[in-house]
Amino acid sequence: MKLWRTPFDHNHSAEPLAYVFIDRERCKGCGFCAEYCPCDVLKMGSELSSKGYQLAVVKDGDKCLACGFCELICPEFAVKLTINNKVHSEIKS
Amino acid sequence: MPDHEGNGHSIIAKYLRQDRLPHIWCPACGIGPALNCFLRAIDKSGLDPDKISVISGIGCSGRVAGYVKLDSFHTTHGRAIPFATGLKLANPELKAVVFSGDGDLAAIGGNHLIHAARRNVDMTVICINNFNYGMTGGQVGPTAPYDVRTSTTPYGNFESPFNLPLLLYASGATYIARWTVLHLHQLENTMTEALLKPGFSFVEVISPCPAVYGRMNKEPEGLDSLKSYEKRSIIKNGADPKDVGITQNGPIIVGKFIDVDRPTLHTNLAVVAERAKKQVKNS
C-alpha cells in the first residue's frame, strides 16, 4: 500500500515490522507455533526437514504484531523474531 | 548487530549453549518452553549470571544443567536439593536453582524436598511435572493422577497422587505457584518473582509428555495435551493448596498460591551463631 502523506500518528502507532525466522534444522514439527499464533502468521507446511519432520512455515509475515509467543513456546528454540533489526527478547527486556 | 535470521545477541544466545542444540528432548516436549521462560526470567530478574548456579537431578529435565551457560551441576538421582543446600551453606552469595522433574524431586528426592522447605533454605525449585518417568519409558510417577494409564499401570493407576503445592505448603515453603506450559508469560513473571524471593520458592510446571505419557492417555501429540490444558486450566491466584489436586480429566487450578515471608535458614543460623560466639567468649 502506498501512502500519499504520512499519517500524524505514524510514529507511535504504526505496526512494528517484524521478521519471523524458523530454523529449518531445529524445527521438529510439533505445531505449537502454528496453533497458538494469534495472527495466523505461521502454519504447518507440507515440506519435510532433512530429518523428516514436517516444517512450520511463515504464511503471512506482514500480519505479525510481534507478540513473541511463537519464540516463547517453541520447544526447540527454532523460532526467532526480529523487529527493526533488533531481536524481540532484547526489546522486551 | 542481529540480522533477520536472529543471529546476534539475544537472551537465548546469552544463556543457552547453542552448540549443544538440537537437544535430546522429544518433539513437543514441554521442557523447552519452560527452559525458555527460565532464561528470560534470569535476564528479567537482573541477577548476576555468575552468581546463579543451576542444579538438576536425573531425568529428562535433568539435562537442563548441561544446556545453560551458567555454573551447573548434574547430580545423582533425587539429590539435587541436598547439593543445592550444601552449595548455599558454603557460599551464601550464590543463587541456587534446582531444575528437575516430578519423579526426581517428589519420589526419590521427596524427603529432601520437604526438609529443604521446612528449613526454608534460600533456593528456587522448578519442578517439571509430566506425571510419569518419561526418560525410562513412562513408568507411573508419584504425581500420576488416579486411573491414568502408564507403562507399569496398563489397566489404570490405582494409587493416589501427591498434591505438590499442598505438600510444600504443609512443609513450610514461602512461595508456591503452578502454571502449565501454555501460560508462558505468567510463568516467566512467576519465575522472576521466585528467583528474587528470599526463602524456599517452588514453581510447578505442568508439561506434556507426548512420547510416553500422552500416547498411553489419548494425547498422542503434544498439541492434544496443550488443547486439554487450554480447556481444563482455571487461573485462581491465592487458591487454597488443598483444593488444587489434579485428576485425570478434571480442572487444573493454576496460579500463584502462596507468597509469605518467613526467616530463612541463613538468618536463623546467623542469630544462633552470634549467640554461640558470645557464650563461648563469656565462659
**A73 assigned to some structural domain:** yes
Q: How many domains does chain A have?
A: 1
Contact B101, B128 (CB under 8 A): yes
Q: What is the pLDDT of residue B33?
A: 94
Q: What is the pLDDT of residue B165?
A: 94
Q: What is the pLDDT of residue A67?
A: 85
How much of chain A, in percent, has pLDDT values that exceed 70? 80
Q: What is the pLDDT of residue B1?
A: 38
- Stretch B237-244: mean pLDDT, rounded? 92
Give how far B47 is from chain A: nearest CA, Å.
13
Task: Check B226 against A36: CB less than 8 A apart.
Answer: yes
Domain that holds residue B121: 11-282
- Spell out the alpha helix ranges (H) of B61-210: 64-67, 80-90, 102, 110-119, 164-171, 184-196
Q: What is the pLDDT of residue A84?
A: 64
Give me the DSSP letters along B234-248.
Answer: EE-TT--GGG----S
Catalogue the long-range contacts made by B111-114 (C-beta closer than 8 Å, 24 or more residues apart): B112/B78, B112/B79, B112/B80, B112/B81, B112/B82, B112/B85, B113/B81, B113/B167, B113/B168, B113/B171, B114/B167, B114/B168, B114/B171
Q: What is the pLDDT of residue A4?
A: 80
Residue B80 pLDDT more than 70? yes
**A11 assigned to some structural domain:** no
Contact B58, B87 (CB under 8 A): no
**A6 assigned to some structural domain:** no
Handedness of CA A41, A43, A48, A53 (dihedral sign): positive
**B227 assigned to some structural domain:** yes
Residue B204 pLDDT more than 70? yes
Q: How many domains does chain B have?
A: 1
- Stretch B10-18: mean pLDDT, rounded? 86
**B181 assigned to some structural domain:** yes
The verdict on B46 touching A (C-beta cutoff 8 Å) is: no
Please state, in angstroms and as integers, the Cα–Cα distance from residue B268 to each residue in B11, B122, B257, B260, B277, following that order: 36, 12, 25, 17, 14
Task: Using alpha carbons, select from A48, A49, A62 the residue that is nearest to residue A16.
Answer: A62
Residue B8 pLDDT more than 50? no
**B5 assigned to some structural domain:** no
Q: Distance between CA A44 and CA A34 in Å, rounded? A: 6
Residue from the list A75, A85, A90 with its beta carbon closest to the beta carbon of B10: A90
Distance of CA B86 to the CA centre of its chain: 19
B141-155 per-position pLDDT tens digit: 999 999 999 999 999
Contact B144, B170 (CB under 8 A): no
- The CATH number for A52's domain is 3.30.70.20
- The CATH number for B54's domain is 3.40.50.970
Residue B209 pLDDT more than 50? yes
Residue A11 pLDDT more than 80? no
Residue from the list B1, B12, B36 with its beta carbon closest to the beta carbon of A85: B1
**A2 assigned to some structural domain:** no
B103-142 per-position pLDDT tens digit: 999 999 999 999 999 999 999 999 999 999 999 999 999 9
Contact B232, B148 (CB under 8 A): no
Cell numbers given for B276 = 554461640
Q: Distance between CA B236 and CA B249 in Å, rounded? A: 18
Q: Taking a contact as any Cβ pair under 8 Å apart, which residues of chain A between 15 and 54 contact chain B?
A: 19, 21, 25-26, 28-32, 35-36, 53
A55-87 per-position pLDDT tens digit: 999 988 778 888 889 999 999 999 988 876 556
Asked if residue B22 has a cis previous peptide bond (ω within 30° of 0), the answer is yes
**B2 assigned to some structural domain:** no
- Grade residue A16 by pLDDT with cuts at 50, 70 and 90: low
**A31 assigned to some structural domain:** yes
Domain that holds residue A63: 25-92
The verdict on B238 touching A (C-beta cutoff 8 Å) is: no
Q: What is the pLDDT of residue B2?
A: 45
Calculate the CA dihedral of residues B179, B183, B188, B191 and round it to 10 degrees. 0
Edge to edge, the sheet with strand A79-83 lists A18-22, A79-83, A86-87
Q: Distance between CA B277 and CA A63 in Å, rounded? A: 68
